[in-house]
Structure 1
Amino acid sequence: MSGSFQRQHHASSSPMTDSSRNTSAGAGSVLLQSIAADAVNWRRHLHMHPEIGFDVPDTARFIVERLHSFGLDQVDVDVGGGVVGVLEGKQGARYGTLALRAEMDALPILELNRFDHASRNVGRMHACGHDGHMAMLLAAAAFLSKHREGVGRIAFVFQPAEEGDAGARAMLEHGLVERYDITRAIALHNRPGIHDGALALLPGPVMAAADRITFLINASGGHAAMPHLTADPVVVGASIIIGCQLIVSRHVSPLQPAVLTIPVFEAGTVRNVIPPRVRLHGTLRTFNQSVRRTVHEKLRQLANAQAASHDADVQVEIEEGYPAVVNNAETVAELSRIAEQIGFKIEPADPMMASDDFAYIADAVPSAYAFIGNGKSAGLHEPTYDFNDAVLLKGALFWIETSMQFQVELGSRTSPRLACPPTNPNKHL
């Protein structure tokens, strides 16, 4: 997940009751408990060996070995740098292929935890819980491979490069949807501050679009004692920052969230010299594409007007990041029904201004992006974060029951939106 969450504090929820564990009843009970123990070991191994972006060979190898050991019908490693395992259940593909997605990549963060399974790759860390996401999905694949009776066709999608390099888009460009006839997709992401194992499911926009903004301001500069003989880019930069706040408050509906923040102001280094150059860096986060375009236009108008009024030149660079993740209402309703039926607690939650490249998949097929509570852990992207192992079995149960009970007839596909800058094909596995 690109971006970060503020840590919230809630008491941990009680474990799921026996009556909620429909899948673990009967013959599958012992198997599921065994897989739960394996999932902890898998998760901690992955946490100790984090890899970045598309460069995830050891992680991919670990996943491929386990998918093969489960006896899946198909395991591919050449899908835009990602891994896809296919399970052909005994119900066939009458509802198309349901894709379940987990991310493989970590973050360039120095981990501060001191437990035994802390990162052994200095400066790299699973600080967003992708290790847990992979372990939950592996656990589900292990169980479902032995219980195919109530399952159709499932694609277990392990995606690289979610943290900024658009790995989901790369997989789409390499035929993810077409090769596996994917007609619906689901992602599950942990969220600190929600009770352990509780779910948050929202229809509509759930994660924001995120853009990077840069202003390059050039002017003559000069002596600080004679500003009237100079063109001062610092004044231009300050005016732009103030004006940015007016864009949101006066050109965006108060009913449409938008966050425009310019936290980096690079200027001079000497107190008596007006510098000739200033550089500003910031981000824009929105849920609505029309709002996004409006803010882009107003940013350029603002910067050009302020520069002209102070005899300066300005360049505005807007690097479009991931689009907003928009959940399909029908898919969310079906997931909510399944979750409540098997005893999951559903917690209310607001959409987040962080971003995720699952947006591209959600734009290609009807999809849902769900949150599962990580309890009182440190916040995502913090150097003391760790995935809560108590959540692994619950997340696996969610995947298992979803695979077995999902009854919505899977809709027709649409063409994926490819708005991010091109990914580097040389980084693919």
Structure 2
Amino acid sequence: MLAWAVVVSVLVMTILSLLRVNVIFAIIAAALTGGLMADLSITESVKALVEGMGGTAKTALSYILLGAFAVTISYSGITRILVRNLVSVLRGKRATLLLVIAGVASLSQNVIPVHIAFIPILIPPLLKLFDEMKVDRRGVATALTFGLKAPYVMIPAGFGLIFHETIQSAMKQSGADISLGEIAQSLLLPGSGMILGLLIAVFFSYRKSREHTINEVEELQEEAEEDLSGEKFGLRHALTLVAILFALIAQLYFGNMIIGALTGLVFMYLFQGLTRVMNVVPLERGNAVMSQGIGMMGSIAFVMLVASGYANVLQSTGSVEALVNQTSGALGDNQIVISFVLLVVGLVITMGIGSSFATVPILAALYVPICTAVGFSPLATAALIGTAGALGDAGSPASDSTLGPTSGLNADGKHNHIWDTCVPTFIHYNIPLFLFGWLAAVIL
């Protein structure tokens, strides 16, 4: 029963999410299911859930502050200039637009490591353009998720360096030595599966036009309908870029997104305080900025808190270890079968926990002894761990790789988190990632 607690709880979360039950309720129901199946009482399950919610408190606060910073940037009007330029260049070129979005998202992981913080800045002003071009927003979601995920899988820089170092450290703790270069080499083939998935999504799955239902939208819709032709780049836009630069420098120097977001906010208000002519962000709009920031990113932050609690329930009960041990114990020494089953287990675990970075240490501690015993090379073992950790990050209702795109695309209430983000990204990325990762484990 203990080994199946993970599987059943993840199924509960997935089914409830597909039935359009709120993601937070779905995760809580899954956590209680996993706890009860592991012989915890309801009270003990809730306690483990609450105790584990602190695991991502830093990330949650970062997202809220980054949301507020994004709002101040939108007040400056610089996003309207960006949208105007994109409209003039990309109007009518749906595939090119999706590939550009995927490229911009990729920069957020390595070149300018701000992760999902750029989405509430860039995407909401583009929603009107998407509707005018009849862009299928599922295609936009897959483009964004590709950029949030593929670079850290394949490129050892920025968030990718953190991911590869996590794999290296976790493998060494379990007795397997491997260099960062070898880890990058092992993940090139699995990552290329995601490139294939992106091309399929852009040129086949979501190539056709799609009409979106019209909903009433208050502030964001009014902003989207503003005339973009009259605004020119000026001093306040230049100061906004300076504030963004300072925020980036602070984030990179201190290695902390909270400090980076606070630095950006301080400079935006500081420029306003120097002279009213600059008019970057009025000081009296402070409460409105924070409220909009919480509204934009607060739901993501809270989902991640609850997801962290859910992960704590699964880990504290020992159900993850029991699942791996029970499945691996019946596999014999057939590497093809073992690698397939280990990837399936990784998919289930990461779908539940919702974070590839948090899943890697768990998987490495369980996978390395199994892989060593049946003769997998260190490269093949790293490919299995990296692929299994990344599997489920796309498609999971609790992952920031899906919550981030939804936060931008649903700013006008026309985008469903499960059916328009999670399902498309699961199909286009988890399936090829699984197949290419399985191939890498067999041939490396």
Which TM-score bucket, shorter chain as reference? under 0.3
Q: Which has more radius of gyration?
A: 1
Normalising by structure 2, we get a TM-score of 0.27
Indicate the structure with greater helix content.
2
Normalising by structure 1, we get a TM-score of 0.28
Indicate the structure with greater strand content.
1
